[in-house]
Structure 1
Amino acid sequence: MATVSDKPRTQDVIRVSRDNYLSAEFVQLEKQNLWPKVWQVACRAEQIPNPGDYIVFDVADESIIVVRDKNGESFSAFFNVCPHRGRQIMEGCGHAVNFRCQYHNWTFDLEGKNVVVQDKEDWNGTLDCENIDLHRVKTGTWGGFVWINMDPESESLEEYLSPVPDYLDPFEYENMRFRWALELHLPCNWKVALEAFMEGYHVAATHTQLLPVQGEDYTQSASHGKHAHFGYWQATQAAGTPSPRLKRETPADTRPGVIEFFRQMEEDFAAIFTDRDFEAAKKIMDEVPADADPMTVFGMAIELGRRAAEEEGCGYPPNLTPEAMFKAGTDWHVFPNCVTLPYFDGAVWYRARPDGDNPDKCIFNIWSLKRYGPGKEPKVETEVHEDITGKSFGLIVDQDIANMKLVQKGMKSRAFSYARPNPVQEEEITNFHRTLEQYVLGQRRP
Structure 2
Amino acid sequence: MTVIEDSAQSRSGTVPPRYACGETFVPKSRYVDPEFLRLELDRLFTQVWQPACREEELPAPGSFYEYVIGRQSIMVVRQKDRSVKAFYNACTHRGMKVVRGSGCAAGGDLRCQFHGWRFALDGRSSFVPSRDEFLDRPRDQWSLRPVAVGSWGGWIFVSMADNPPDLLEWLDPLPSALEPFRLHDMRFRWRKRTPLNANYKTVIDAFIEGYHTPGTHPQTLRAAQGPRPPAEPAAPQEFVYAPYTPTLRYRNHSRFIYTARPDSGDRDAARKAQAARPEVFANSMQYNYLEVGSLVTERDYRAARRLATMEPSDIPPFVLYHQMCEELALAEGVDFPKMTMEQYFAGNGDWHVFPTLVLLVEKSCVLGYRVLPDAENPNRCVFEMFSLEHFAPGEVPETSWLEVERWQDHDGWGELPTQDLRNIDAIHAGMHSRGFDGLWLNTAQEMSIRNAHAIADRFLFGVDDGQGAAGDG
Same fold at TM > 0.5: yes
Tell me which moved more, 298-307 or 16-25: 298-307
Is residue 291 of structure 2 the alignment partner of residue 291 of structure 1? no
Structure 2 equivalent of residue 142 of structure 1: 152
1:111 corresponds, among 108, 122, 131, to 122
Which one of the candidate residues 285, 289, 297 is aligned to 1:262? Answer: 285
* Alpha carbons 2:67, 2:74 under 8 Å: kept: yes
Indicate the SS of the match to 1:351. Answer: strand
Asked if residue 304 in structure 1 is aligned to residue 324 in structure 2, the reply is yes
CA distance in 1, matches of 2:409, 2:333: 40
* SS at structure 2 position matched to 1:134: coil
Higher mean C-alpha displacement, 303-312 vs 253-262: 253-262
What one-letter code is carried by the residue in structure 2 that aligns with 1:353? L
Q: Which residue of 2 aligns with 1:413?
A: 433
Give yes or no for contact 2:88–2:144 (8 Å, CA) kept in 1.
yes
Amino acid at match of 1:433: H
- 1:27-426 maps to which residues of 2 (within 5 A)? 27-72=37-82, 74-96=83-105, 97-123=108-134, 125-127=135-137, 131-213=141-223, 217-234=243-260, 250-251=273-274, 254-285=277-308, 288=310, 290-292=311-313, 296-318=316-338, 320-392=339-411, 393-426=413-446
Task: Describe the SS at the equivalent of 1:205.
Answer: helix
- Distance 1:105-1:330 versus aligned 2 partners, 3 A rule: same
What are the Cα deviations for residues 393-431 of structure 1, in whole angstroms up to 9, with x where unaligned? Answer: 211111111121111000101111110121101121111
Separation of aligned partners in 2, 1:209 and 1:252: 15
Secondary structure at the counterpart of residue 327 of structure 2:
helix
Identity of aligned residues (%): 32
Separation in 2, partners of 1:135, 1:246 = 62
Further displaced range: 78-87 or 274-283: 274-283
When the two structures are aligned, how many residues end up with a matched partner?
422
**Amino acid of the residue matched to residue 154 of structure 2?**
G
On the 8 A contact 2:368/2:387 being kept in 1, the answer is yes
Mind listing any 5+ residue stretches in structure 1 that lack a counterpart? 1-10, 237-243
Q: Following the alignment from structure 1 to structure 2, what is the Cα–Cα distance between the partners of residues 344 and 252?
A: 21
Contact 1:230–1:329 at 8 Å: present in 2 too? no
> Secondary structure of 2:142's match?
coil
Alignment-mate amino acid for residue 100 of structure 1: R
Q: Is the 8 A contact 1:229 1:329 kept in 2?
A: no
In the alignment, is the contact (CA less than 8 A) between 2:248 and 2:254 conserved in 1? yes
Greater than 6 Å deviation, 4+ residue runs: 244-247
Alignment check: 8 A CA contact 2:286 2:304 kept: no
Q: Secondary structure at the match of 1:298?
A: helix
CA 51–245 in structure 1, closer or farther in 2 if over 3 Å, else same: farther
Q: Distance in 1 between matches of 2:268 and 2:70?
A: 42
- The 2-side partners of 1:198 and 1:252 are apart by 25
Shift of 1:298: 2.5
Cα separation, 2, equivalents of 1:434 and 1:354: 18
- Residue 361 of structure 1 deviates from its aligned partner by 0.5
More moved, 252-261 vs 84-93:
252-261
Distance, in Å, in 2 between the alignment partners of 1:153 and 1:86 is 24
What does the per-residue CA deviation read over 1:350-409, in whole Å, with 9 as the maximum and x for residues that have no partner?
Answer: 111112211011011111011001221001111011222443321111111112111100
Alignment check: 8 A CA contact 1:216 1:232 kept: no
Aligned AA for 2:121? L
- When the two structures are superposed, what TM-score results if normalisation uses the length of structure 1? 0.90
Q: Report the CA distance between 1:12 and its aligned residue.
A: 8.0
Change (3 A) 1:301 1:128: closer
Q: Specify the SS of the correspondent of 1:85.
A: coil
Aligned to 1:239: none
C-alpha distance in 1 between matches for 2:384 and 2:308: 37
Counterpart-to-counterpart distance in 2, 1:252 and 1:438? 43
Asked whether 1:441 is paired with 2:446, we answer no
8 Å CA contact 2:296–2:365 kept in 1: the answer is yes
